[in-house]
Amino acid sequence: MERYKISLAGREKISLVVVAIVILLLVVGLVKLQLIDHSEFLEKSESNRIRVVPITPRRGVVYDREGKVLIDNRPSYTVSVVPAEEVKGKTLPNLGQVISLDTLEIRKRIKKNMVSRYQPAPVKKDIPFDVVAILEEQNRIFPGISYQMERVRQYPVELGCEAFSGYVGEVSEEQLGKNKMYNYRLGSMIGKEGLEKYYDNLLRGNEGTAYIEVSASGQILGPYEGRKKIEAVPGSDLTLTIDLDLQRTGVEAIDTFCCGAIVALDPRSGEVLAMLSYPNYDANIFSSVIPESLWLEISSDSTHPLLNRPLNGLYPPGSTTKLLTVGAGLEEGLINENTTFKPCLGGMQFGNRFFRCWYAGGHGRLTAVHAIEQSCDVYMYQLGLKLGVDVMSRYFDLCGFGRTTGIDLPNEYAGLNPNSEYYDKRYGVNKWTQALALNNAIGQGEILVTPLQLAQFYCGLANGGVVYRPHIVKKISKSSGEQISVSPVMSFKLPFSERTLELLKEGLRLVVEGERGTARGLHNKYYAVGGKTGTAQNPHGEDHSWFVGVAPLDNPEIVVCAIVENAGHGSEVAAPLVGKVIRTYMDKKTRRENLARVADGGDR
């Protein structure tokens, strides 16, 4: 039995060894935590108590050319949950009751928006102020809940500015991953369309960072002094070239029709004075979470309110490009101002097809300017035949069609300028005839243009051939006080000589003032207007109604291009519309001049 006993000295030794082992175990544990893993735990203890709060800068305000506010910010409250501080069975049910969301949905949103367990994950945006008051007053029953005031974009719905304003929305995960957008976080607002997108970097400013210290219960103890707060830099304000009065006139004028677009440019600089797409949508709904039903309604609307017609609407130009046909003929030496072709008898036979003129009665024998005045198709057919498909295509290209204008807005379409190469591909080599040139000569066939391109072309006609790149931002005002004025940039020159331009301008004048002009309704005794009607046939329904107006004709300051979809003759629908916009412009100009004269008189 002695085997199971142990001497006193042995027991003492073993006891001391046991103590030594215990101490060693604890020392190893301590050294591991405090020496080896120290930095890791130090970081953890910092992130435990320091909450990094991004400070969203004020997004730049957008003004019209006269300094009227166009896009502004309004306060909006977002409620968030700090996952690490949430109390199970308390936080979410209580919050759910107040913001009328079920716990499951809140949990889903937290999971989606979570950055770290210690940072607030947004749950619902734009909650009403009285809910904020409840959260504030009874914060005891909402552990781990915080709310942030942020500014939300406010767009003027009634002015149809969506065509150029675009809208902002939360940056998508795809966007975050694809580009190196280190300045954006989940939940950051980013410009999604229009100038909000194009000028996003200027408008958004630089995000700031605040460090606050929090206790275990989520109580905010105040700013953390260890790290310096980085102030947010407000975004730059933009002053646009847009004139809100013209914009409003345009919206009111087009309101009675289904769909269409208006673009007004200053030919002397390329400034966009008005731009609208109709029907428009409410850009405000995109700033917050869009209800699915509303989204479906907008995106499935047969009038396509989301289509940005001035930039993305592709239409056959119709008779509006007859000036291009005539210009090309003059430049190519195929005609001169006195040249006449076979008389128009309401149409002409080409091959086995009869090409009709829009005026069945026939225009008779016409010179170039009168062919423009009366928009005679037969004259253009004969000229188009002489020019041929490729020469026509070259002139279309030189006049800015088939390529983007370079306006400072995103997603502009180039349109379509077909040539023989295109036709070979489309129909097969030798499978098509010069009959296509007949169509192109009257702006029909495959050619497709945007309203902006057409307006740009007329700017060139009005401005002695010089085309300025259309732009929408006039001035950038940085938060530092620095102001950058955007000066006009010459884009290209029309391929027409001065003499040709003069003739074409005469054509524009005759359309309004001529005895048999197609837009005589715009004639008035106060100022000279020129322009050209267009009636574009399209396979989808009734003809589109075009009109491009230029005023005052002697020294043009404004070019207005309007299209009304499926509305019939240009002279009946689009021309009066353009006339209203031009009239608003001219009235304002007169008033301005009168005021200046009165002020001058007072001085004397």
Partner 1 sequence: MLDYRQLDWKLITATLALSLIGIILIMSAQYYADTDYQQHYYQRQIIWLLFALVVFTVVIHLPMRIFDVSAYLLFFITLVLLVLVLILGSSRGGASRWFSFGPINLAPSDIAKLTLVFALSRFFAYTKLPVISKRRLALSGLMTLIPVMLIIKQPDLGTSLVFFVILFALWFWSGMSPWYLLLILSPLISLVTASHWLSWAVYFVVLLSFLAFLKPGMLNSTVVVIFNLAFGIITPFIWNRMAEYQRLRIKTFFDPSLDPRGAGYQIIQSKIAIGSGGILGKGPLGGSQTRLEFLPERHTDFIFSVLGEEFGLWGSLLVLLLFTFIFYRAIRIAARCRSRFASGVVMGAVAILLFQFLINIGMTLGFMPVTGLALPFLSYGGTALVLSWTLIGLIISADYRWQEY
Binding footprint of partner 1 on the chain (CB under 8 A): 1, 3-6, 8-9, 11-12, 14-16, 18-19, 22-23, 25-27, 29-31, 33-35, 37-38, 40-42, 44-46, 48-49, 88, 213-217, 221
- Would you say 15 or 179 has its CB closer to partner 1? 15
Question: For residue 259, what is the DSSP state?
Answer: S
Q: Tokens 């149809």 label which residue? A: 160
**Closest to 349 (Cα-Cα) out of 392, 381, 373:** 381
Query: What values do phi and psi take at 329, rounded to 5?
Result: -60, -45
Three-class SS of 304-346: CCCCCHHHHCCECCHHHHHHHHHHHHHHCCCCCCCCCCCCECC
CB of 91 to partner 1, least distance (A): 12
Residue with tokens 């953890």: 44
> Which residue, 8 or 429, has its beta carbon nearer to partner 1?
8
Shortest Å, Cβ 80 to partner 1: 19
Task: Tell me the C-alpha distance between 485 and 12, whole Å.
Answer: 92
Give CA–CA dist 310/287, Å, rounded.
23
Least CB distance from residue 141 to partner 1, whole Å? 18
CB of 311 to partner 1, least distance (A): 52
Complex with partner 1: residue 133 or 221, whichever CB lies closer: 221
Q: Rounded to whole angstroms, how far apart are CA atoms 191 and 463? A: 34
For residue 362, how far is the Cα from the chain centroid?
44
Query: What residues pair up with 466 in beta bridges, in sequence order?
Result: 493
What's the CA gap between 601 and 604, in Å, rounded?
A: 5
Nearer to partner 1 (CB atom), residue 16 or residue 598? 16
If 0-12 CB within 10 Å is exposed, 13-18 middle and 19+ buried, where does residue 28 land? exposed
Are 305 and 281 within 8 A, CB to CB? yes
Closest distance between partner 1 and the C-beta of residue 139, in Å? 15
Minimum distance of partner 1 from residue 136's CB (angstroms): 21
Which CB atom, from 2 or from 498, has the smaller least distance to partner 1?
2
- From the list 37, 59, 187, 207, the residue with the least C-alpha distance to 119 is 187
DSSP reduced 3-state for 271: strand
Which is closer to partner 1, CB of 19 or CB of 294? Answer: 19
Going by C-alpha positions, the residue among 45, 59, 126, 60 that lies closest to residue 476 is 60
Return the ∠ at Cα 394 (arms to 392 and 398), rounded to 5°. 115
For residues 563 and 544, is the Cβ–Cβ distance under 8 A? yes
Helices (H), ranges, 498-543: 498-513
> Which residues on neighbouring strands pair with residue 550, listed in sequence order?
530, 559
For 430-464, the DSSP string reads TSS-THHHHHHHTT-TT-BB-HHHHHHHHHHHHTT
CB 22 within 8 A of CB 29: no
- Please, what is the minimum distance in Å from the beta carbon of residue 405 to partner 1? 58
Facing residues of 561 across strands?
Answer: 263, 548
CB of 30 to partner 1, least distance (A): 5
Burial, 177: exposed, middle or buried (Cβ in 10 Å; 0-12, 13-18, 19+)? Answer: exposed
- CB of residue 28 vs partner 1: minimum separation in angstroms? 9
* Shortest Å distance, C-beta 6 to partner 1: 5
The residue among 140 and 431 lying less far from partner 1, judged by its C-beta, is 140
| CB closer to partner 1 out of 143 and 568 | 143
- Closest CB to partner 1 among residues 40, 297: 40
For partner 1, which is the closer residue by CB, 219 or 303? 219
Nearer to partner 1, 49 or 583 (CB): 49
44 vs 425, beta carbon nearer partner 1: 44
Q: Least distance (Å) from partner 1 to the CB of residue 68?
A: 51
- CB 87 to partner 1: min, Å: 9
